[in-house]
A and B are shown apart, each in its own frame.
Chain A
Amino acid sequence: MNTLPQQLANGLLLGSMYGLIAIGYTMVYGIVQLINFAHGEIFMTGAFGALTVYLYILPDGTTLAVAVPLMLIGGAIVAVLIAVGAERFAYRPLRGAPRLAPLITAIGLSLALQELVRNFYPGADRARAFPGLDATHDIGSVTIKDADIFLVVAAIVCMSGLAWFVRKSRTGRAMQATAQDPDTAQLMGIDTNRIIVIAFAIGGFFAAVAAVAYGLKYGSIDYRMGFLMGLKAFTAAVLGGIGNIYGAMLGGIVLGVAETLASAYIDGIPGMDKLGGQSWANVWAFVLLILVLLFRPQGLLGERVADRA
């Protein structure tokens, strides 16, 4: 069952999820040089937004084919509103403040969001069941779930949509200009505040897509789910080269594949027999980050500092 192709598929799937969340870190960093450490919690609220639609809005017995798109919309609305609200009320007043101030704010915001969900969402002090898309398909020796198909399709659609938007649309060009030189972007007539809001909104939307995929795949969500997923996605963004949207996706996939393969096979190496298994997956993920930062600090696709005149 756990053959190499299966492990690779597992890694790619996990990595796509990291990549989707990593977009939020990388776009915001690229434009305002802020690490939004509350982004993991924005992902978490997206999951609860989607669950709310399923439990409290849709009539009982709605088929998942109908429910999933509506859950996606609900999750996206919640995550985007929280992301944009965080920008407007928590980060914008601190623009121009020392860098530590927004960083501490982000950490505070992430704790606040966790506690709000834990205390006020019905039953969220424990894990809550999420409808799963568990039907399986065998492709050769690889078994995947419907939830995995949802994840892959969503990741491909979102990423190609984003790539088109950033490169070809007028707003996308304004976004690149704002990332490269915010003052001069204003001289072009670009409302840079609006661009920043759009970056947060796109990040929130992508996090919600990942959150719905997470729920459908694992069948359960909880108020702490954003912490580790957020940390991994941030790692993915740094790994790929923070500020670079393709880097975020590539970093996610590299991270997902690396940690999956490491936890599956590293105990086969003589002397490392105690270092395998799922419990070591996070260790290998962060070892990879340390290695990349040592040998390629700008990340896999990051620009050299000299290019960033």
Chain B
Amino acid sequence: MTTLLEVEDLRVAYGKIEAVKGISFKVEAGQVVTLIGTNGAGKTTTLRTLSGLLKPSSGKITFEGQPLNGVAAHKIVALGLAHSPEGRHIFPRLTIEDNLRLGAFLRKDKEGIEKDIQRAYDLFSILGERRKQAAGTLSGGEQQMLAMGRALMSQPKLLMLDEPSMGLSPIMMQKIMSTIVELKSQGTTILLVEQNAQAALSLADQGHVMEVGNIVLSGTGQDLLHDESVRKAYLGED
């Protein structure tokens, strides 16, 4: 297995407040790796730093052997790292199709782009039915599908999903999770941030539990799912 992403002793601070306090983990090609933990654990901060929106105060990020420290966000996308942000952040006043096209902003292969737009419509049929509609008119779950479809449009080597199930109905959540499984089976490497530990761990190869800026526990998805402390803290068992 080849290591796609390697994070070493990463620290990120907002002013004087350190949100990520020296975490290290790896993502191997083809894996689904999940970061779980409560609100404020530093998961979203980690992803935003990996995609270049935040600057680390120290530590090393390596993607395919290339250091990412100091690389501008828009250039990181070009290296093959796509980020579907927390809260979906679709472009509300652009059409669904334009949102998808923006996902492929850096690509030049017109035919490939059309093919991938079609692929997104196949993956999420509702998007195809409403392609000319403003994205802001979609429901939360549909917006999540669009955000994922949009992130896939850049043909990423690593897809980072931040809280894809947040605020969704159980049915919608099921749909999103099964899509992640489908993407995994197609060989997409995924870094998944979730509060829904049960769902995330059951489909992840590797999991890391974050608490107030630190990784406190790591293991395979199955190990963590059966770990007593994880069950108590995150899966709501006594």
Contacts and interface: CB of A to CB of B under 8 A. Distances in A.
B85 A184 contact: yes
Contact of B105 (A170, A176, A183, A307): A170
A298 interface: no
A174, A183, A185, A189: most-surrounded residue (chain B CB, <10 A): A189
A213 B109 CA distance: 42
A105 to B, nearest CB: 24
Q: Taking chain A's interface residues, is the majority helix, strand, or loop, or is none over half, making it mixed?
A: helix
Contacts of A303: 93
A234 to B, nearest CB: 23
Interface in A169-190: 170, 173-174, 176-177, 180-181, 183-190
12 contacts: A176-B94, A176-B98, A177-B102, A186-B52, A186-B53, A187-B51, A187-B83, A188-B74, A188-B102, A188-B154, A191-B74, A309-B136
Given A181-B89, A183-B53, A307-B136, A188 B94 contact: no
Given A180-B91, A307-B92, A188 B105 contact: yes
Contacts of A191: 72, 74
A189 B105 contact: yes
Interface of B: 51-53, 72-75, 77-78, 82-83, 85, 89, 91-94, 98, 101-103, 105-106, 136, 150, 154
Given A173-B98, A176-B94, A177-B102, A188 B77 contact: yes
Name the 7 nearest CB pairs between A and B, nearest first.
A189-B77, A186-B73, A189-B106, A184-B89, A188-B105, A188-B102, A189-B105
Interface in A275-308: 303, 307-308
B94 A189 contact: no
A181 B83 CA distance: 14
Contacts of B98: 173, 176
Interface of A: 170, 173-174, 176-177, 180-181, 183-192, 303, 307-309
Given A184-B91, A186-B77, 15 more contacts: A173-B94, A174-B102, A183-B73, A184-B85, A185-B102, A186-B53, A187-B73, A188-B106, A188-B150, A189-B74, A189-B105, A189-B106, A190-B74, A307-B92, A307-B136
A192 B75 CA distance: 11
Contacts of A180: 91-94
A117 to B, nearest CB: 37
Given A186-B53, A187-B53, A307 B93 contact: yes
A186 B136 contact: no
A185 B89 CA distance: 10
A308 B92 CA distance: 8
B147 to A, nearest CB: 9
Contacts of A188: 74, 77, 102-103, 105-106, 150, 154
A177 B150 CA distance: 13
A182 B101 CA distance: 16
Contacts of B103: 188
A307 B74 CA distance: 26
A187 B68 CA distance: 14
Nearest to B134: A307
B180 to A, nearest CB: 19
A177 B94 contact: yes
Contacts of A185: 102
A190 B105 contact: yes
B93 A187 contact: no
Nearest to B51: A187
B76 to A, nearest CB: 9
Contacts of B78: 189
Contacts of B85: 183-184, 187
Nearest to A181: B89
A176 B85 CA distance: 18
A176 B93 contact: yes
B77, B83, B91: most-surrounded residue (chain A CB, <10 A): B91
A177, A184, A190, A307: most-surrounded residue (chain B CB, <10 A): A184
A136 B82 CA distance: 60
B91 A177 contact: yes
Nearest to A167: B98
